[in-house]
Amino acid sequence: MILVSSGSVAAGRAKIPVNHVASIAEKQAMAAIGQIDMMANWQRFFDFPCAQVLLTYDDLHDRTRYVNIKNTIRELLNHQALPIVNENDTVAVNELKVGDNDNLAAYTALVAGADTLIICSDIDGLYSADPRKNPDATLIPEVENITPDIYAIAGGAGTSVGTGGMRTKIEAADKCTRSGIQTLIVNGRNGTVFDALHEGQLPGTLFKAQQSQKTARRLWLEHTLKTRGRIEVDEGAKKALVDKGASLLPSGVVEVSGHFSPGDAIEIHCGKQVLAKGIALYGAQELRQIKGAKSAQINTILGYDSGEVIVHRDDLVLFQP
């Protein structure tokens, strides 16, 4: 589970009283104060650790930072912590902001490789028209494809607190469903909706994934990311990758070619066979230093480590021989 929450500016507003439209700097100060209150409020609901993850649009579109975010979230989940993601309002300016929780949640779902995105709204789901204005509006339980007609029935922001509306929720669902992540819009003010979901009921609107996440990720890795380099691995690494579905460890690397950075796509070869393509956690210069070494030696050799694997199995696509 990953939680995407806003509220830092609202939580800190009382501590920075202004009688005018707040400036960007004032809002950032409100966010800096309010972030502490917001996290403390979430932590009191749970008997396990909550972790603060602050992101900007720029973080999500920089390859190296994207991989770092992915690794951090993966480790938090491995240690049974709840990542709580919020926009980094203390430093973000308009050009670097995602701008709404719905799209931030979609980006988070993508970077985390989530199975499902659940968006909480103040109404039960997507309606044929705005139910607050049209009493004849009916709830749409399932959406097979997000078409221009679906966008056409989405309105603007519905509340004075939130920055998103139904349109941003549709945008978020569009991003996720095209990447193999099913998306639901439910009424976040009604706690019973999660009981219903747990029992297999649908108390809102389900946007069906257009393809499996595995297929979507394979297409993205195979066709979208440009290869920046290649590495040669030994037979033991080949067997671990192909037969066991393992991640690639530095001990199996025998040669590094090209100039690439962490987060770049690389090809993995064994002899004349192209085994796989994946996202490197280390750059070419670093890999040349740690090739053939044990994972436990990475920190000793480099003075730091970005993880014990070279390419994580979730960021790797195998090619058929």
Q: Per-residue pLDDT for the chain (321 aa), expressed as one digit of tens each?
A: 999 998 888 888 888 888 888 888 888 888 889 999 999 999 999 999 999 999 888 787 777 788 889 889 999 999 999 999 998 877 765 544 666 889 899 989 988 889 999 999 989 999 988 888 888 989 999 999 999 889 888 864 444 444 447 889 999 999 899 888 999 999 999 989 999 999 999 999 999 998 777 777 776 677 657 888 999 999 999 999 999 999 999 999 999 999 999 888 999 999 888 999 999 999 999 999 999 999 999 999 999 988 899 999 888 988 865
Multiple choice CATH, 225-318, 3.30.420.40, 3.90.1170.50, 2.30.130.10, 2.40.30.10: 2.30.130.10
Q: Which of 123, 100, 274 is nearest to 188 (CA)?
A: 123
Q: Which of 77, 56, 79 is nearest to 66 (CA)?
A: 56
Binning the chain into helix, strand and coil, the percentages to the nearest 5 are: 40, 20, 40
Q: Which string of b and e fits 222-243 if b means at least 16 CB within 10 Å?
A: eeebeebbbbbbbeebbebbbe
Confirm if 108 and 146 have CB atoms less than 8 A apart: no
Domain locations along the chain: 3-212, 225-318
Question: What is the C-alpha to C-alpha distance for residues 79 and 42, in angstroms, rounded to an integer?
Answer: 18
Q: How far is Cα of residue 141 from the mean position of the Cα atoms in its chain?
A: 25
Confirm if 255 and 293 have CB atoms less than 8 A apart: no
pLDDT 10s digits, 136-188: 989 999 999 999 889 888 864 444 444 447 889 999 999 899 888 999 999 99
Strand partners, 27: none
- Residue 111's φ and ψ, nearest 5 degrees, are -70, -30
Cα radius of gyration (the chain): 22
Has domain 3-212 been given CATH number 3.40.1160.10? yes
Question: What is the C-alpha to C-alpha distance for residues 153 and 149, in angstroms, rounded to an integer?
Answer: 7
Report the amino acid identity of residue 84.
I
Question: What is the C-alpha to C-alpha distance for residues 268 and 248, in angstroms, rounded to an integer?
Answer: 9
Contacts of 68 (CB under 8 A, 6+ apart): 262, 306
